Every structure is written in structure tokens, then in C-alpha cells.
Structure 1
Amino acid sequence: MTEFGKSLTITETPIPGLLVAELPVHGDARGWFKENWQREKMLAAGLPDFGPVQNNISFNDAAGTTRGIHAEPWDKWVSVATGRIFGAWVDLREGPTFGTVFTTELDPSRAIFVPRGVGNSYQTLEPDTAYTYLVNDHWSADAEYSFLNLADETAAIAWPIPLADVEISAKDLAHPRLADVTPIPPKKTLVIGANGQLGRALRDAFGDSPEFEYAGRAEIDLADPSFVDSRRWRDYATIVNAAAYTAVDLAETPEGRADAWAANVTGVAALARVATEHGITLVHVSSDYVFDGTKDGAYTEDDAVRPLGVYGQTKAAGDAVVATVPRHYIIRTSWVIGEGKNFVRTMASLADRGIDPAVVDDQTGRLTFTTDIAGAVRHLLRERSPYGIYNVSSAGDPLTWAALAQRVFAATGHDPERVSGVSTDAYFASAAGPVAPRPANSVLSLDKITAAGFTPSSMLESLAAYLG
């Protein structure tokens, strides 16, 4: 008999992510009614927002019908419309809980959320049992499946009706024992722009585990819309977009403007659609150039964007698109320094070559070492911090470009007085081509990222280590 009048409650099981739900069922002399999937209420109760795309029903004529242990690369919401089942679930995912077993009975008043990679099977306890399940992906011949024998001695499932007395398919009887099962790997993290300054830092932060995939421009070019067909996106949990068009002055030319919009907006919009459609977390790296630099004080994540030039406009537009993705992190940075050509390396080279530079002294900000960006991204993902915008730069008192150049000269054993200050207007007065406007104030507040538990490095300490 179906139990009426339960409250909606969610209970954890020994298998991580496998959640049992008690469902309210309302009945009278005519029959009963229940909300089999009610997103708003069930999310509030603790179920994940898994985004089902298909609803399947398996009807079973006789009691004792037994279905094999199958682990698919998608999530399932399993319930019973009529009848009753004994369900058995085995964790077939890579990791320390591989092989863990959980069993329970399901009737119309109890359902279960089965995460990707957990083997699912059942045995009907009543005739005319209708077993229903919602899934968040469509069947694919290219997907990675895993199977376990129903009679596996290690799992030792206590089937209520002996397997010798029930209806089972020959295929299910032939599945491997646990020792021979191929575990389902975790969903992957894809880093786009993996060959740039930040991309290389992300490689160092994440490592070479198969869980992480790195794509340079040759593998994924955001300016080429065909990249959306390059992957089976349901196999990814996270995309980190470290790619961008960053030639701020060239962006002011007709050709540069087109390229900047193609990579920073059109390509990012395609990424956002992919992430939204497949429930992927999208991490997107932005810039202080989304601001006009006129604020008195540090910019917070809540300040309105007011970009001055084409590059800043494309970054602001990209941010607005990424903000529509349900699971997103927008990382705002300034004055990025990593492996490769950058301001610090240029100043060190000038110092060594005996060149005394004039450096802009009316723009103020902080350097952001790529190790800080990569560390912040890793921290936010690992801690599952609230989605949204986070400012990330290295920490310390803000300085002008000229003051930073003097620090570089001093750290490399040269006289810092060889660096002279000059206004932005004077510096670019003799420029041969277009010059993008720069924000005079690029200082970003770090209160939110530090409150999230990540402490950026000291800018000057990191500078000394970088030069050393």
C-alpha cells in the first residue's frame, strides 16, 4: 500500500550524491495524486538542479522482473507510478566509494536521485509495476557506460526473490564481476586558452590528471563558431575560459574591432549557451577595462560597468552574457603578469640593456600574477563558492605603472631613478596608430574573494619572487 500524507524530505545514503526522497501522495476513494517532479520544491528540499531532458517508463507485467545493474553517464530521477520495487544501487565511479551498495524499496511515495556513474537496478515486487525515470541527457552510442553482474559476490545484494526464480535478460546475466568493471571517470574540466599566460598557470594549478583537458587556440578558437560541435559537452563539469582577444590598441581599428567582438562576445555567447544547455559551470576571466577608472576608491563587484574603449566594451558585453549562465564565475583582474611577454619582463629587459624608460604615472592599480588567478579559480571550484563575480588581483598598496617600473629596476640591481614618469597623453602622443583609452583607476576591491576564503599573494613579494 502506498503511504499517504508524507512530508517532502530528502535523505542521504552511503553512496555520495545518491539521495532518497519521501514524496507527498494525496489519496481518496478515487485514487491518488502526487507531484513526481516539482523543481522549485525539490531544490529547496535539497535535490540538485539536474535539468532533465527526457522521461522514460518501464512497464513490468510480473512480480520478480529484474533489470541489470547499469551505470550511465547522466543523472536519473527514479520513481514508481504503480506497483512496488526493490532497488539496488552500486557506486561504479572512480574513487574511494567504488563498489558501495545501497538498497531500498520504492513505491509511489518514495523516489531516488541517482547521480551519474552509480549503477541502477531493480526487482519488481508486484505485478503491473510502472518504473519511471527522468534523465538529463539523451542516449548516445559514444557515451561511456559501465555494468555489474547482478549476482556479484562482492556487492552481495540481498535480492528478495532469488535470481534463479526471476525473469532476467541473458545480457544482464553476462555482465562482469566488480573486479572486472570499468569505473566511470569523473566529469572533466576544460581549460580554453591553455597556452597563454593564464592557461599555463592553470595547467600548473590543476595538474595532468585525465580529469583536466587543456585546449589551445588550435583546438578551440572562440572566433570560430564550429567549436560548439567539437565535444560531447555532457562529459564536462566545468569550462574555464582563459582565452580572449587582448590587443587593446589594435581593437580600435576596423579589423581589430571585428576580431575583438568575435572572440570576446560572439564566442563567449556560444560558450554560455553550451554551459547553460548542459549544466556546466563556466569560469570566465574579465578585466578592469570594463570600468572607466573615474571612481574614487577601489572598484567592487557591484559597481556599474562603463568601458571606455572597444576592448573594454567587448569584455563588458561578454560578462553580461556569462552572467546569464546559471552556474558561473566571472573573475575580474587587472595588469596580468605570468609566463611570457609582459610589463615586468619588458622593464627588466630595459634595465639590463641600459635603457632609461619613461613610464605612465597617472594610472594606478595592482599587478595580478597568474598564480593568484589560477589559485582563486581552483579555490572557488573546490569550495563550491556562491556563483557570481569575484575581483582577483595580487594584494598590497596600489601603485602607478612608473612606480612599479622603479620596483623592477631596484629588484634587478639597477637604479630606480632611471625610470621617469610621464602622463598617458604624453606617452601616446607620438603613437603611429590608434590608442585605446585606459582607465586611470584600476584598483579592484579584494573583500569578496578574501571573504570566500582565498587570500591573494602580496604583489611586491610575488614581484620579487618572479624576478628572482
Structure 2
Amino acid sequence: MSIAFGKPLAVRETPIPGLVVLDLPVHGDARGWFKENWQREKMISAGVDLPDFGPVQNNISFNDAVGTTRGIHAEPWDKYVSVATGRIFGAWVDLREGETFGAVFTTELDPSTAIFVPRGVGNSYQTLEADTAYTYLVNDHWSPDATYTFLNLADETAAIEWPIPLSEVEISAKDRAHPRLSDVVPMPPQKLLVTGANGQLGRALRAEFGEHPWIEYAARDDLDLTSPDLDVARRWRDYGTIINAAAYTQVDAAESPEGRSQAWAANVSAVAALARVASANGITLVHISSDYVFDGSAADPYEESSAFSPLGVYGQTKAAGDAIASTVPRHYILRTSWVIGQGSNFVRTMASLAQKGVDPKVVDDQIGRLTFTDDIASSIRHFLRTGAPFGTYNVTSSGDALSWYDVAREVFRLTGHDPDRVGAVSTERYFHDAQGPVAPRPRNSVLDLKRSQAAGVETLPSLDALALYLRA
């Protein structure tokens, strides 16, 4: 066997997205040779999109004879393939849904090469030397309940040029019976789970992502995030993304004993459970944050890295949830303010009061920007689609900061009513005669948008977005 010694580590792309070939440095002398077969730190920083795929199992297939041929199997997990001894001719076929379905790549592998095979790409090989040991790392454990996809080795469309004709080699009866490409059911994408599907953001996410077999919208009755059985409530390795749109948002009620307990359960305990599931299964967790993690005393807009300083229980639970979500290796935290969506909200209330002839008094000493749920949903899709760096991003409408008083006046004007009917009042005066607990509010809720804008997220100024919202 001839091995190429002394090659530098390199990663090469192929025509199949995500399928990459690695040249491995092999060091040899009179005693034999040595290589780092998988070296996480070096390989994921080698300059090509080789993911940190988190292998959980190492398998070896030993083949006695030349010409041993294994069928084209696509599994719902990633695998990293290499050769310990011998040499193979490998063939890979993209069996995932999408434009590259049916794309083929072939190459030879010896101990100085390896290949990363993403989920849903069919993998097969033929041995070119006797006593070939074929090894592979996978990032899931085999399960009979998993979804598998297969392709016939002799498929005419793939037209793989096997070095040794298939008529001359031993092939299992099962591999001979696999379907042709025209009859293959493509491997679906990894599942996406949306929690809190019946809330304002949940409804916007349903409109943004649509109805597909691989997208699951779960309300509270469908999935209890605080259940001790959450870890086994789903086959979590089938999921690629969890969007956590579930939250306790009753700011004032959170100051009561019952509300405090409910807020911590939904905004902290549930997030901790989701974080545990996401971390254990390589899932991307998308979590929604709030301006209430800050006390509003800053003179300038809050950046993503600004220190937490929550005033009330709701803000404290959101800050704790953010800290937990940030421990997930693959996470996006979207920090928002003054959220407006479908259903009951400040804008709808002001429009209703205007129509009924009621002249409200609205606080004028809290400033911020509106955030529309459609913008949150489209921003989430953008981050997931573009693979933006993981971390925290502020996502609100753009433009000048406004007070709630300014917003109320604009709602009156846009609905054809006199904005001067809206009166201004301080926060202290507004809540002076309130019945029940009142949560402290941040006076400055303006969030800096430079990081999200640099990532390609563009939102309309608050007043422009408000006009569109009221016309919808």
C-alpha cells in the first residue's frame, strides 16, 4: 500500500454541498506511520465549512476481499469517513430534498484522506485492496425509528463508474433491491420546532415558515417544557432548530406571588430544559429576549454586550433565561422591545379607544422602538438561512426613538382621528391609582441595531412599520 506522507492538512469542497474531502498529514518511518484521524480544533478551522458535528460513536467495517461493495445508504446523521488500512473507491449521492438532489461525487480514499458526509447524502464504497479497514464517526446512535434513504448501486441516472463491475462483486440482496433515483423518497430536512405556537410571535412564525411535514408548531398542551420527561419527549436528534416563542409576558402580574412562580417556570426553568436538550443533541436554539433585562438608566442605546440590570421580576427572569440560552453552543438570542403582533396589544388598544371616542392619557417618559412580530420572524429565518455567527442580536424597528405617547398619537392620526386627543402623563402618575402590583419599567428601551444590521437584517423605521401594520 502506498500512502502519501507529509501532506499538509487541507479541506476540499465537492459538487455536493457540505460534502468535503480532507487531506490528512501522515507521518511515517521504519516502524510504520501515524496520523491524527480526527482533530477537532484543527479541522473545523481549516478554512472550509466543516462543522463541529459532535460525534458520539466510532464504527469500523473490516473487508477481507478486493471488490467488497457496500450499498448507497443515506442516514439522518452526519458521518466522518476515513480508511485505517487499505484503499477504497467511494461514491456519494445527494439524496436530500433540494436543487442538488441526485448530484454524484466519487474519489479514492486511503489512510491519508478522509471525507465528511452530511446528513442525507448517500454513502457507498468498493474496496480496492484486501484487508481494508473502513472507519467512520457518527453523531447519532443507530435507531430503527430513524428515517433512512437508499439508492440502487446500479442506478442509471447516477451512472457511477465502479472500478470493478457490479456483476463481478458480491452485493447483498438488500442492496440489490434498493430503488432507482426516480423512485427515491428524498431525505427531508431536519425538523424545526416552534414552541409557543399560539402566541403573537408563534402566529407570525407560522406565517413566515409555513406548513411543512418537517416543521412542528407546539402549543403548551402539545409539549410541556417543564416536564421532567422533556429529554425523551421527542427523538431530538431529528431536530435541527428549536425556536422558543413561549414566554410569560405579564409584566405586572409577575410581581405577584403566583405570577412570580409562573414567570420563573416559563422564562427560566423551561429555557433551561430546552438548553439541555439543544446542547445534548446539537440543535440550534433560537430564544427571544427583552429590553427589560436592562434598567433603562443608560443615556445611549443598549448594545448586545451591555450588562444586565433588570428592575422587576419579569426582567429578572428574562435575564436569567438569556444567560442560560447563551450556554448552548449553537444559539441565537434575539433581543426585542415593545413587541406588536396579531392579537391584543398597545397599538390595537389605542386604535380601539380612538374609534370609541375615548381620549387616553399615555406615558411620555419611556422611550424605545416598536418591534413587529413579522420582523422578528423574518429575522430568525435570515439568521438560520445565512448561518450568521451565533450569539445575541438586537432586533427592533429602526429610526428615531419614540415614547408611548408618540406612538399613541401616531395611531390616532393614522386611523383618521385627532392626535391631540391623546394626553401625556408621567409613569408615576399613570400608575398612581393602580389596583394590584405594578412592575418598574425601564425609561430607556432603545436597543443598538448595528450588529444585526451588519448581519444583513434590515427593518423599517417604527412609524413606517406602524402605518403598514394598521393598514393590514
Same topology, TM > 0.5:
yes
Tell whether the 8 Å contact from 2:226 to 2:273 is kept in structure 1 after alignment. Answer: no
1:88-139 deviation line (CA, Å, top 9, x unaligned): 1111111121111111111110111111111111111111111100000000
Deviation at 1:465, TM superposition (A): 2.1
Q: Distance in 1 between matches of 2:397 and 2:328?
A: 27
SS of the counterpart of 1:191?
strand
Which residue among 187, 195, 200 is the counterpart of 1:197? 200
The 1-side partners of 2:420 and 2:89 are apart by 80
Separation in 1, partners of 2:8, 2:336: 47
Cα distance in structure 2, aligned partners of 1:383 and 1:182: 27
Q: What is the match of residue 180 of structure 2?
A: 177
Contact 1:225 1:267 in 2 (8 A): no
Structure 2 portions without partners, runs of 5+: none
- In the other structure, the counterpart of 1:282 is 285
Aligned pair partner of 1:420 in 400, 420, 423: 423
The 5 Å alignment of 1:95-134 reads 95-134=98-137
**C-alpha displacement at 1:440, in angstroms?**
0.8
- 1:40 equivalent to 2:26? Answer no
Out of 455, 458, 465, the position equivalent to 1:455 is 458
* Residue range with higher mean Cα deviation, 411-420 or 73-82: 411-420
Shift of 1:371: 1.6
Structure 1 residues 461 and 94, CA gap change in structure 2 (3 angstroms): same
Superposition map of 1:373-392 within 5 A: 373-392=376-395
Q: Distance in 2 between matches of 1:91 and 1:6?
A: 28
Q: Aligned partners of 1:226, 1:315: CA distance in 2, in Å? A: 24
The answer to whether the 8 Å contact 2:362/2:423 transfers is: yes
SS in 2 for 1:134: strand
Deviations 1:344-395 (CA, angstroms, capped at 9, x unpaired)? 1111111111222121121111111112211211221222111111111112
Residues 73, 143 of structure 1: 8 Å contact kept: yes
Whether contact under 8 Å (2:363, 2:425) holds in the other structure is yes
Query: Please, which runs of 5 or more residues in structure 1 have no aligned partner?
Result: none
Instruction: Quote the Cα distance in structure 2 between the aligned partners of 1:117 and 1:31.
Output: 36
TM-score (norm 2): 0.97
For residues 440 and 287 of structure 2, what CA distance do their matches in structure 1 show?
A: 23
SS at match of 1:385: coil
Corresponding residue for residue 162 of structure 1: 165
Q: Is the 8 A contact 1:223 1:259 kept in 2?
A: no
Say whether 1:25 aligns with 2:30. Answer: no
CA distance in 2, matches of 1:175, 1:104: 22
The alpha-carbon deviation at position 225 of structure 1 amounts to: 4.1
Pair 1:236-2:253 in alignment: no
Once residues 15 and 404 of structure 1 are traced to their aligned partners in structure 2, the CA distance between those partners, rounded to angstroms, is 50
**Secondary structure of the residue that 1:445 maps to in structure 2?**
coil
Q: Which residue among 300, 307, 310 is the counterpart of 1:304?
A: 307
Between the aligned partners of 1:410 and 1:427, the Cα distance in structure 2 is 23
Instruction: Tell me, in whole angstroms, the C-alpha distance in 1 between the residues paired with 2:96 and 2:199.
Output: 33
Letter in 1 for 2:389: P
Amino acid at match of 2:3: T
C-alpha RMSD of matched pairs (Å)? 1.3
User: Counterparts of 2:227 and 2:295 in 1: how far apart (Å)?
Assistant: 30
Indicate whether 1:146 and 2:149 are aligned.
Answer: yes
> Shift of the alpha carbon at 1:222?
2.7
Deviates more, 1:377-386 or 1:129-138: 377-386
Deviations 1:209-246 (A, max 9, x none): 33432222221233334333222222222111111011
Q: Which residue of 2 aligns with 1:11?
A: 12
Percent of aligned pairs sharing the same letter: 73
The Cα offsets for residues 325-351 of structure 1, whole Å up to 9 and x where unpaired, read as 111111111111110000011111111
Contact 1:293 1:442 in 2 (8 A): yes
C-alpha separation in 2, matches of 1:175 and 1:262: 49
> Equivalent residue of 1:130, what SS?
strand
- Distance in 2 (CA, whole Å) between partners of 1:54 and 1:398 is 53
Instruction: State the match for 1:136 in structure 2.
Output: 139
Deviates more, 1:206-215 or 1:342-351: 206-215
C-alpha distance in 2 between matches for 1:221 and 1:439: 31
For normalisation by structure 1, the TM-score amounts to 0.97
Tell me, in whole angstroms, the C-alpha distance in 1 between the residues paired with 2:36 and 2:437.
62
Q: In the alignment, is residue 340 of structure 1 matched against residue 343 of structure 2? A: yes
Counterpart in the other structure of 2:224: 221
Amino acid in the other structure paired with 2:151:
L
Q: Deviations over 1:404-453 (max 9, x none)?
A: 11111222222222221222122112222111111011111111111212
SS of alignment partner, residue 44 of structure 1: coil
Question: Is 1:314 aligned to 2:320, yes or no?
Answer: no
- Contact 2:400 2:461 (C-alpha < 8 Å) held by counterparts: no
Q: Distance in 1 between matches of 2:230 and 2:252?
A: 27
- Does structure 1 residue 358 correspond to structure 2 residue 361? yes
SS at match of 1:4: coil
- Tell whether the 8 Å contact from 1:372 to 1:457 is kept in structure 2 after alignment: no
Q: Secondary structure at the match of 1:202?
A: helix
Per-residue deviation, 1:208 = 2.2
What is the match of residue 54 of structure 2? Answer: 51
Structure 1 counterpart SS, 2:45: helix
Partner of 2:334: 331
Q: Secondary structure at the match of 1:283?
A: strand
**d(CA) in 2 for partners of 1:183, 1:383:** 23
Give the length in aligned residue pairs.
Answer: 468
The answer to whether 1:293 aligns with 2:296 is yes
Question: 3-state SS of the aligned residue for 1:154?
Answer: coil
